Structure 1
């Protein structure tokens, strides 16, 4: 592991400030989407997506990868996904079963984290499939929000939004399966070591 990739215990880093700002944008987005300010909601979503990419790049380039950042970044992603889903479902832009499918996956992984913590393991490293799934979902939401606009923008956004949503859901669950397999290997190794 190079010095650039070393994980520190630092709290005040540029990537962590960006992740914290993204967390602060979650309630702002919730108010905007519920009150029907779609243009501003789209801007907040776009800024959130860009900041999600930026904090990871900066963490690696500046050598500021931190334990806090490794927890803050996915937490901000999950919270944004949940709030966006709830807002879109509340408005009727996505069916409630989509909310259930994505929340169920996160609930299962939260339980898995609890099992790992009991065996003194921290969070598992993020898989590329998980990042790709999150990326696809974060693209799907603004497109599904745009689907309510007039033709031809609405029709194109609807098709692209659902394409990204299906890819995101599939990758989200695929990554969840990878995390379960990884956790089982760790726990099996512990069991073999204890025997």
Structure 2
């Protein structure tokens, strides 16, 4: 197992640590764990790309670790009453739809859209909005809704890219040697 994949695995281990700290009332310590998870996410991707250590398992586990950590934070905020349940439902619908479509298309042999700047920007915006909600800052819920709308727009853009990639693939038959 290479270093980027080990960093991804650390994020999976940090999830129950975050939960334990959050629910015993150590919100700042839990936030530190969440921040550490975010830093390992940035670091693993950087190392994997810079040192040509990108693996298929890493490409699968990295976004899964990200989603599970974000869902964990979201559910903890929902449970504590800090996040509106409708916002949580909207986030779940968007993420579940993206994951289900990606898995379905992958198993049907379709090309999926690789992570790009839109997805990365959406993730950054989600983290900022959740940070506002986490600390109950002014306009936190309003910012969260703006980010949710933005995330649905980026999902639509991903769908358009998916269609374009797969139409191009169908139009250009494989060249066999």
| Same topology, TM > 0.5 | yes
Q: Distance in 2 between matches of 1:164 and 1:47?
A: 23
Bigger mean CA deviation after superposition, 106-115 or 15-24: 106-115
Does the alignment pair 1:168 with 2:157?
no
Bigger mean CA deviation after superposition, 42-51 or 137-146: 137-146
Does the alignment pair 1:115 with 2:104?
yes
**Correspondent of 2:51 among 62, 69, 79:** 62
Structure 2 gap segments, 5+ residues each: none
Does the alignment pair 1:184 with 2:163?
yes
Q: Distance in 2 between matches of 1:128 and 1:68?
A: 21
Contact 2:111–2:162 (CA under 8 A) maintained in structure 1: no
Structure 1 gap segments, 5+ residues each: 1-11, 148-156
Aligned-residue offset at 1:184: 2.4
Q: TM-score, normalised by structure 1?
A: 0.77
Aligned pairs for 1:26-175 (under 5 A) are: 26-121=15-110, 123-147=112-136, 157-159=137-139, 161-162=140-141, 165-175=144-154
Q: TM-score, normalised by structure 2?
A: 0.84
Aligned-residue offset at 1:82: 0.8
* Equivalent residues, number: 173
Bigger mean CA deviation after superposition, 84-93 or 180-189: 180-189
Q: Distance in 2 between matches of 1:62 and 1:163?
A: 40
Contact 1:134–1:168 (CA under 8 A) maintained in structure 2: no
Structure 1 runs, 4 residues or longer, greater than 6 Å off: none
Q: Distance in 2 between matches of 1:125 and 1:45?
A: 25
What is the Cα-based RMSD across aligned positions, in Å? 2.3
Aligned-residue offset at 1:182: 2.3
